[in-house]
């Protein structure tokens, strides 16, 4: 299963469209698109653009601290993907600018092996109790490709 992870689009839909087009030039089909907040409205508006390329892809998003009008979008999700459970959140509710411990523990307690978050705008991959992935800010040209094969994750941070 191939998953594009985005976060922190902050209204930069044109930039995100360009970013996805660059990624699509080198990636094969994508099964799922995940957005980790601060751009929940952007993600909703990009659905048709994404589906024009990957019409059957799953799309999941969460609300970030700047998603003031996205009342129908959850703060977090546990998504079963590729033989494992993925915890998605923006990160602000878990103080990720000062520590990853609370977020890692929250994901682990929910039975997840992969944790996706944003908020810091800084791409990172770190293994703790879960594999923690921040794709960085898509508005700044960052995203992640997560591949899950029978529960085994492989991640590539991409910058354009």
Structure confidence at residue 34 (pLDDT): 98
pLDDT in tens, 59-85: 999 999 999 999 999 999 999 999 999
pTM for this model (two decimals): 0.97
Structure confidence at residue 129 (pLDDT): 98
Check pLDDT > 90 for residue 155. Answer: yes
Total domains in the chain come to 1
Confidence of residue 28 (pLDDT cuts 50, 70, 90): confident
Q: Return the CATH number at 128.
A: 3.60.21.10
Domain assignment of residue 155, given as a range: 2-159
Q: Is 64 left (phi over 0), alpha (psi -120 to 50) or beta?
A: beta
**Beta sheet of 2-6, edge-to-edge order:** 58-61, 32-35, 2-6, 142-149, 152-159
Nearest to 34 by CA among 72, 95, 77: 77
pLDDT in tens, 95-153: 999 999 999 999 999 999 999 999 999 999 999 999 999 999 999 999 999 999 988 99
Check pLDDT > 90 for residue 86. Answer: yes
Structure confidence at residue 158 (pLDDT): 97
Structure confidence at residue 151 (pLDDT): 83
The encoded tokens of residue 75 equal 């703060």
């Amino acid at each position: 299963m191939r998953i594009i992870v985005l976060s922190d689009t902050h209204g930069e839909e044109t930039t995100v469209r360009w970013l996805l087009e660059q990624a699509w030039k080198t990636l094969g089909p994508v099964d799922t698109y995940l957005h980790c907040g601060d751009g929940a409205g952007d993600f909703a508006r990009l659905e048709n653009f994404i589906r024009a390329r990957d019409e059957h892809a799953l799309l999941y998003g969460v609300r970030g601290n700047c998603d003031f009008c996205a009342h129908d979008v959850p703060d977090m999700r546990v998504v079963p993907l590729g033989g494992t459970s993925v915890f998605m959140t923006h990160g602000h509710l878990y103080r990720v600018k000062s520590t990853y411990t609370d977020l890692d523990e929250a994901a682990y307690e929910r039975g997840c092996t992969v944790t996706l978050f944003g908020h810091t705008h800084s791409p990172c991959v770190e293994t703790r109790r879960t594999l923690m992935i921040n794709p960085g800010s898509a508005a700044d040209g960052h995203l992640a490709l997560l591949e899950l094969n029978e529960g085994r994750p492989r991640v590539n941070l991409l910058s354009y």
